[in-house]
Amino acid sequence: MKNLNKTILSFIAGFIITYLLFIFRAEATQELALTNALGGGIGLAVGYFLYEKYMKEDSSS
């Protein structure tokens, strides 16, 4: 359950950071910023999940 909470927090952090990066661009619309933020959040959450599942086990042994 602890890993799920960290994965959700990494999704939220990735979503917010990516949204803020895109919304302040002059050519970006809100729809484009939300779409990119969703992709950024999902990418960060998947990356964190895979790191916890596979990479952390290798480095501890």
Encode pLDDT of 1-60 as tens digits. Answer: 677 888 888 899 999 999 999 888 878 888 999 999 999 999 998 988 888 888 876 665
Distances (CA, A) of 7 to 16, 25, 28: 14, 28, 28
19 lies in which domain range? 2-60
Which residues does 41 contact at the CB level (< 8 Å), separation at least 6? 11, 12, 13, 14, 15, 18
Q: Specify the number of domains making up the chain.
A: 1
pTM: 0.75
